[in-house]
């Protein structure tokens, strides 16, 4: 086994290179007409999602043939899913924005070790910012260490959320959106969960929540938030694992307040929506 075979720095280097290569493809396509297909009623995919995913997978497979990979557009490949190392790849997070020419989208790549995020890279091809983290080694934007904000009150916080493109009617989030909007400086709904989590990690947003996110949406972003000093859980404060029903990410200081509001909303949710993430 080579010296680099289990080296997180090497894992991150490859993830960063893959995200930059995919990001260049996305940036180049951003101003051209889009070839849009539908995976669901409003679940868009473009040929750029697929092209970006192809270059990422080629790089990961070349460097890590023994690792498992789960990518949004092609599903599982590589080694057995039970492999110690598993990559989650979102080649273009914010496809709806990309398709409409709204410049908020990113590439998100994470490696999990025994189910826990070990490295993460999120690249914004519009601003050319690279967000990256290795477990227990801090979070960075470019070469600068980043930290969550020090705001202590929900009433002084800027929040973010998102709404999934599938089973929209069953999703309870509108009730949470209403309540959090009234109790904070506002709730942004920018359309890229990966970038929302980067914004929590670098202190632009104090908190973020969403229902029904997939592992490739969150695996890199939750590592960034943790390594920037923030908190990650579900609404009841239990550990969040990529793919769980709901995610609550915050600077840690407003976490309990957000959980309390969420509990209040859950208690009032129409019965038909309770426990149904869509
Ligand atoms: C979507 C974005 C969006 C979130 C959706 C995701 P995609 O990812 O992260 O912010 O609200 O739930 O599906 O489909 O653009 O990769
Ligand atoms: Ca996504
Ligand atoms: Ca995507």
CA distance 60 to 226: 24
Same domain? For 134 and 170 the reply is no
Residue 275 in this model has a pLDDT that exceeds 80: no
pLDDT at 164: 80
What is this structure's pTM?
A: 0.94
Cα-to-centroid distance, 201 and ligand 3 (Å): 21
Same domain? For 173 and 75 the reply is no
**Which of 145, 172, 203 corresponds to the end of one domain?**
145
Q: Into how many domains does the chain fold?
A: 2
Cα-to-centroid distance, 53 and ligand 1 (Å): 16
Query: What does the block give as tokens for 120?
Result: 């993460």
Same domain? For 136 and 255 the reply is no
pLDDT at 276: 46
Dihedral angle of Cα 229, 22, 27, 108, to the nearest 10 degrees:
-30
pLDDT at 209: 98
Strand partners, 88: 70, 110
The model's pLDDT over 127-162, given as tens digits with 9 standing for 90+, comes to 999 999 999 999 999 999 999 999 999 999 999 999
Q: Which residues lie closer than 8 Å to 201 by C-beta, 6 or more apart?
A: 131, 133, 139, 146, 148, 221, 224, 225, 227, 228, 230
Same domain? For 139 and 167 the reply is no
Q: How many CB atoms lie within 10 A of CB 123?
A: 28
Cα-to-centroid distance, 236 and ligand 3 (Å): 27
Average pLDDT score over residue span 193-220:
98
Ligand 1 mutation target, pool 56, 165, 210, most atoms within 8 A of CB = 165
pLDDT at 3: 53
Q: Tell me which of 44-48, 75-79, 99-103 is least confident.
A: 75-79
Q: Is 165 in the pocket of ligand 1 (CB under 6 A)?
A: yes
Same domain? For 111 and 216 the reply is no
What is the share, in percent, of the chain residues with pLDDT greater than 70? 93
Average pLDDT score over residue span 99-122:
97
Same domain? For 141 and 163 the reply is no
**Which of 145, 174, 208 corresponds to the end of one domain?**
145
Same domain? For 111 and 195 the reply is no
Same domain? For 22 and 126 the reply is yes
Domain interval for residue 260 = 154-274
Same domain? For 174 and 139 the reply is no
pLDDT at 2: 53
**Which of 145, 175, 204 corresponds to the end of one domain?**
145
Average pLDDT score over residue span 213-235:
98
Cα angle 206, 207, 209; round to 5 = 170
| Helix extents (H) in the chain | 8-29, 47-63, 95-100, 173-182, 193-201, 215-227, 255-268
Same domain? For 10 and 137 the reply is yes
pLDDT at 172: 87
Tell me, what CATH number does 253's domain have? 3.40.190.80
Q: Is 163 in the pocket of ligand 1 (CB under 6 A)?
A: yes
Q: Which of 154, 149, 227, 169 is nearest to 42 (CA)?
A: 169
Query: Contact 141/130 with Cβ under 8 angstroms?
Result: yes
Same domain? For 170 and 131 the reply is no
Residue 78 in this model has a pLDDT that exceeds 90: no
Q: Which atom of ligand 1 is nearest to the CA of 213?
A: 12
pLDDT at 106: 98
Q: Is 73 in the pocket of ligand 1 (CB under 6 A)?
A: no
What is the share, in percent, of the chain residues with pLDDT greater than 90? 82
Same domain? For 74 and 14 the reply is yes
CA distance 121 to 88: 11
């Amino acid at each position: 086994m080579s010296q680099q075979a289990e080296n997180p720095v090497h894992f991150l280097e490859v993830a960063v290179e893959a995200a930059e290569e995919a990001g260049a493809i996305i940036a180049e396509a951003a101003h051209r007409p889009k070839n849009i297909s539908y995976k669901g009623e409003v679940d868009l995919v473009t040929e750029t999602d697929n092209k970006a995913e192809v270059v990422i997978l080629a790089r990961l497979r070349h460097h890590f043939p023994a690792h498992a990979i789960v990518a949004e557009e092609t599903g599982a490949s590589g080694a057995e899913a039970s492999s110690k190392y598993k990559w989650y790849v979102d080649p273009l997070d914010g496809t709806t924005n990309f398709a409409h020419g709204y410049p908020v989208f990113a590439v998100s790549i994470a490696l999990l070790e025994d189910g826990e995020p070990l490295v993460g890279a999120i690249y914004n091809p519009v601003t050319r910012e690279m967000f990256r983290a290795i477990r227990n080694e801090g979070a960075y934007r470019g070469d600068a260490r980043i930290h969550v904000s020090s705001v202590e009150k929900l009433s002084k916080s800027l929040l973010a959320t998102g709404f999934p493109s599938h089973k929209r009617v069953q999703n309870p989030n509108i009730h949470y959106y209403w309540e959090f909007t009234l109790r904070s400086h506002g709730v942004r709904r920018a359309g890229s969960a990966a970038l929302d989590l980067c914004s929590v990690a670098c202190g632009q947003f104090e908190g973020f929540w969403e229902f029904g996110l997939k592992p490739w949406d969150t695996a890199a972003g939750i590592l960034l938030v943790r390594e920037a000093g923030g908190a990650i859980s579900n609404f009841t404060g239990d550990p969040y694992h990529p793919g769980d029903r709901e995610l609550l990410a915050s600077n840690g200081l407003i976490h309990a307040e957000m959980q309390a509001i969420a509990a209040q909303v859950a208690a009032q949710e129409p019965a038909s929506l309770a426990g149904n993430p869509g």
